[in-house]
Amino acid sequence: MTGSDTAEANSKTPRSRARPAWVGYVVPMALFLALTSVEGLWPARYIWLYMTKVVLVSGSLMFYRETWKDYHIEWRVVAPAIIVGLFVFAEWIPVDRLLPAGLHFSGGKRTALDPFSGIHDPGTRDLFLAFRIFGLALMVPFMEELFWRSFLLRFASNPDADFRLVPTGTFSWGAFAIVAGAFALSHPEWLSALICGVAYGLLLWRTRSLFAPFIAHAVTNLALGIYILQTHNWAYW
């Protein structure tokens, strides 16, 4: 092999070994869903399984941090994002309560652990609550917006091409419906989640910024977390 052939081969090696672009978006979400399923199988170990899930999913987000480039801090979107986030929080529980019990058919059930009666050691309880709030208000919004409204929405809009060529906030309305529906079916409170998915998607469309639905999602989840801790309504935990 000549020197030029070797150089050409070496130049092709990184590309041939490069992982597909979708992997970094899908793996954290798939890991999260798999570990959530495991939590349901061993509810007695939920505390430690949840904290392990936070560590592993956060680690996968760090490993695939090239996807973070989709986020750009834009202060112009913060105010509308907060408004949308609070709207979703305000509708989540009342809308879910409108559904008859028989229609809560999707997304499985939440563990609904009461950490004050279920965790007797104060240090363990505080550690769990720190992990739980971090997972709820930061990790999940960060991961889900990358998956649902950065990757899947763009992929479904143009599945025959590189999804990265679809600008953020640009999508087909068919893809919008698919993603909103899939987002809804991934939650026990599916009707509330459907409204949520539509609201976050429209916010993305109006702002053309993934940072907007991330902030909205974080505000919604943080508000829900505070509400649950104050009211002890653990069914939404």
- Does residue 107 have a pLDDT over 80? no
Confidence label for 111 from pLDDT (cuts 50, 70 and 90): confident
- 165/186 Cα distance (integer angstroms): 27
Mean pLDDT of 125-142: 98
67 Cβ contact partners less than 8 Å away, ≥ 6 residues apart: 24, 25, 61, 146, 150, 151
Question: Nearest Cα to 28, choosing from 122, 110, 148, 117?
Answer: 148
- Does residue 106 have a pLDDT over 70? no
For the chain, what is the radius of gyration of the CA atoms?
Answer: 20
- 48/200 Cα distance (integer angstroms): 31
Residue 70: both structure tokens together: 């989709």
Question: Which amino acid belongs to residue 67?
Answer: T
Q: Give the pTM.
A: 0.90
pLDDT (tens digit per residue) in 134-176: 999 999 999 999 999 999 999 999 998 899 999 999 999 999 9
Confidence label for 16 from pLDDT (cuts 50, 70 and 90): very low
Segment (H or E) for 42: none
- 98/111 Cα distance (integer angstroms): 21
